[in-house]
Amino acid sequence: MPDDTAWTLHPDRALPADPTLRPIAHEIFAAARDLPIVSMHGHIDVAALAADSPFPDPAQLLVVPDHYLTRMLVSQGATLPELGVGPDSPDKETDPRAIWRRFCAGWKHFRGTPTRYWLEHELVEIFGVTRRPSAETADLIYDEVAERLADPAFRPRALLDRFGIEVIATTDPAWSDLSAHAKLAIEVTGPGGAPRVLPTFRPDPLLHLDRPRWREDVSRLAAASGLDVTDYATYLEALRERRAAFRAAGALATDHGHLLADTTPLPDDVARALVGKALAGEAVTAAEATAFSAHMLFQMAAMSAQDGLVMQLHPGVLRDHDGAVAERFGPDKGYDIPVVTEYAQALRPVLEAFGHHEVFRMIAFTVDEDAFSRELAPLAGVYPALRLGAPWWFLDAPDAMRRFREAVTETAGFSNMSGFVDDTRAFCSIPARHDLARRVDAGYLARLVAEHRLDLDEAVETAADLAYHLPKAAYASR
Amino acid sequence: MPDDTAWTLHPDRALPADPTLRPIAHEIFAAARDLPIVSMHGHIDVAALAADSPFPDPAQLLVVPDHYLTRMLVSQGATLPELGVGPDSPDKETDPRAIWRRFCAGWKHFRGTPTRYWLEHELVEIFGVTRRPSAETADLIYDEVAERLADPAFRPRALLDRFGIEVIATTDPAWSDLSAHAKLAIEVTGPGGAPRVLPTFRPDPLLHLDRPRWREDVSRLAAASGLDVTDYATYLEALRERRAAFRAAGALATDHGHLLADTTPLPDDVARALVGKALAGEAVTAAEATAFSAHMLFQMAAMSAQDGLVMQLHPGVLRDHDGAVAERFGPDKGYDIPVVTEYAQALRPVLEAFGHHEVFRMIAFTVDEDAFSRELAPLAGVYPALRLGAPWWFLDAPDAMRRFREAVTETAGFSNMSGFVDDTRAFCSIPARHDLARRVDAGYLARLVAEHRLDLDEAVETAADLAYHLPKAAYASR
Amino acid sequence: MPDDTAWTLHPDRALPADPTLRPIAHEIFAAARDLPIVSMHGHIDVAALAADSPFPDPAQLLVVPDHYLTRMLVSQGATLPELGVGPDSPDKETDPRAIWRRFCAGWKHFRGTPTRYWLEHELVEIFGVTRRPSAETADLIYDEVAERLADPAFRPRALLDRFGIEVIATTDPAWSDLSAHAKLAIEVTGPGGAPRVLPTFRPDPLLHLDRPRWREDVSRLAAASGLDVTDYATYLEALRERRAAFRAAGALATDHGHLLADTTPLPDDVARALVGKALAGEAVTAAEATAFSAHMLFQMAAMSAQDGLVMQLHPGVLRDHDGAVAERFGPDKGYDIPVVTEYAQALRPVLEAFGHHEVFRMIAFTVDEDAFSRELAPLAGVYPALRLGAPWWFLDAPDAMRRFREAVTETAGFSNMSGFVDDTRAFCSIPARHDLARRVDAGYLARLVAEHRLDLDEAVETAADLAYHLPKAAYASR
Q: What is the pLDDT of residues B322-344, one digit of tens each?
A: 999 999 999 999 999 999 999 99
Amino acid at C126: I
Q: Whose CA is closest to B27, among B470, B446, B468?
A: B446
Distance of CA B366 to the CA centre of its chain: 12
The rounded distance, in Å, linking the Cα atoms of C57 and B180 is 61
Partner residue opposite A19 with nearest CB, options C20, C416, C448: C20
Distance of CA B154 to the CA centre of its chain: 23
Q: Where are the domains of chain C?
A: 21-53+155-474, 56-154
Predicted confidence at residue C5, as pLDDT, reads 72
**Each residue's pLDDT tens digit, A364-400:** 999 999 999 999 999 999 999 999 999 999 999 999 9
* Chain B contact set for A20 (CB, 8 A): 17-19
Picking from C451, C455, C458, C470 by the largest number of A CB atoms within 10 A of its own CB, the best residue to mutate is C451
**Are B413 and C72 in contact (CB < 8 Å)?**
yes
A129-134 LR contacts (CB < 8 Å, sep 24+): A129/A7, A130/A6, A130/A7, A130/A8, A131/A3, A131/A6, A131/A7, A132/A1, A132/A3, A132/A7, A132/A107, A132/C455, A133/A103, A133/A104, A133/A107, A134/A104, A134/A105, A134/A107
**Confidence bin at B296 (pLDDT 50/70/90):** very high
What are the phi and psi torsion angles at A413 (to 5°)? 65, -165
Average predicted confidence (pLDDT) for chain B: 96
Note the pLDDT of residue C104.
98
- Chain A residues touching residue C378 (CB < 8 angstroms): 336-338, 394
End-to-end CA distance of chain A: 51
B21-53+166-474: CATH, from 3.40.50.150, 3.20.20.140, 3.90.1150.10, 2.30.180.10: 3.20.20.140
Closest residue in B to A388 (Cα) is B75
Identify whether the C-beta of residue A43 lies closer than 8 Å to the C-beta of residue A424.
yes
Residue ranges in chain C modelled with pLDDT below 50: none
Between residues 190 and 219 of chain C, which touch chain A (CB distance below 8 Å)? none
Name all chains with 3 or more CB-CB pairs below 8 Å to chain A: B, C
Tens digit of each residue's pLDDT (9 = 90 or more) over C396-444: 999 999 999 999 999 999 999 999 999 998 999 999 999 999 999 999 9
CB under 8 Å to C13, separation ≥6 — which residues? B451, B452, B453, C117, C439
CB-nearest partner of A413 from B12, B111, B403? B111
Q: How many Å is the Cα radius of gyration of chain B?
A: 23
Percent of chain B with pLDDT over 90: 97
CA distances from A145 to A122, A132, A151, A435, C391 (A): 10, 13, 10, 21, 41
> Which residues from A are below 8 Å from B321, CB to CB?
344, 348, 351-352, 379
Q: What is the pLDDT of residue C373?
A: 96
User: Residue type at B350?
Assistant: V
Residue of A nearest to C370 (CA): A370
Confidence of residue A3 (pLDDT cuts 50, 70, 90): low
* Cross-chain CB nearest to A374 (options B76, B116, B338): B338
Return d(Cα C471, Cα C419) in angstroms, integer.
Answer: 5
Interface of A with B in 286-345 (CB under 8 A): 340, 342, 344-345
State residue B476's pLDDT score: 86
Q: For B352, which of C324, C339, C340 is closest by C-beta distance? A: C324
Q: In this structure, what are the phi and psi dihedrals at residue A332, rounded to the nearest 5 degrees?
A: 60, 45
pLDDT of A4 over the 90 cut:
no
Task: Quote the pLDDT of residue B155.
Answer: 97
Say whether residue B454 is in contact with chain C using an 8 A CB cutoff: yes
CATH architecture of C56-154: Orthogonal Bundle (1.10)
Q: How many residues does chain A have?
A: 478
Question: How far apart, in whole angstroms, are the C-alpha atoms of residue B51 and residue B167?
Answer: 18
Contact B238, B227 (CB under 8 A): yes
Helix H or strand E segment including A244: helix A232-248
pLDDT tens digit sequence for A130-151: 999 999 999 999 999 999 999 9
Question: To 10 degrees, the CA torsion angle through C156, C157, C162, C167?
Answer: 110
pLDDT in tens, B253-285: 999 999 999 999 999 999 999 999 999 999 999
Q: 3-class DSSP state for residue C207?
A: helix
CA–CA dist B400, B423 (Å, integer) = 15
- Check residue A2 and give its pLDDT: 57
3-state helix, strand, coil in chain A (%, to 5): 50, 5, 40
Domain spanning A21-53+155-474: which superfamily? Metal-dependent hydrolases (3.20.20.140)
Smallest CA–CA distance from B114 into chain A, residue? A410
Kindly tell me the sign of the dihedral angle through the C-alpha atoms of C376, C380, C383, C387. Answer: positive
Asked if the C-beta of A108 comes within 8 angstroms of chain C's C-beta atoms, the answer is yes
Q: CA-to-CA distance for C288 and A98, rounded, in angstroms?
A: 51
pLDDT band at residue A65 using 50, 70 and 90 as cut-offs:
very high
What pLDDT is recorded for position A340? 96
pLDDT at A205 over 90: yes
Q: Which chains touch B (3 or more CB pairs under 8 A)?
A: A, C
pLDDT digit string (tens) for A405-455?
A: 999 999 999 999 999 999 998 999 999 999 999 999 999 999 999 999 999
CATH topology of domain B55-154: uronate isomerase, domain 2, chain A (1.10.2020)
Q: Give residue C477's pLDDT.
A: 62
Q: Looking at residues A246-267, what average pLDDT do you find?
A: 97
How large is the greatest C-alpha to C-alpha distance in chain C, in angstroms? 72
- Give the Å distances, CA to CA, from C416 to A136, C201, C225, C350, C412: 24, 23, 35, 18, 6
Backbone angles phi, psi at C379, to 5 degrees: -70, -50
Residue C11 contacts B, CB cutoff 8 Å = no
Question: pLDDT per residue over B238-249, tens digit each?
Answer: 999 999 999 999
Name the burial class of residue B152, with classes exposed (0-12), middle (13-18) and buried (19+) by CB atoms within 10 angstroms of its CB. Answer: exposed
**Sequence-ordered alpha helix ranges (H) in A355-396:** 370-371, 377-380
> Which CA distances in Å does C6 have to C110, C128, C132?
20, 11, 8
Measured between beta carbons, which residues in chain C are less than 8 angstroms from residue A117? 453
* Chain C environment of B448 (Cβ under 8 Å): 112
- What one-letter code names the amino acid at B99? I
- Percentage of chain C surpassing pLDDT 90? 96
Residue type, B101: R
Integer angstrom CA distances of residue B93 from A48, B85, B98? 56, 8, 7
> Distance between CA atoms of A139 and A128, rounded to whole angstroms?
15
> Does the pLDDT value for residue B4 go beyond 90?
no
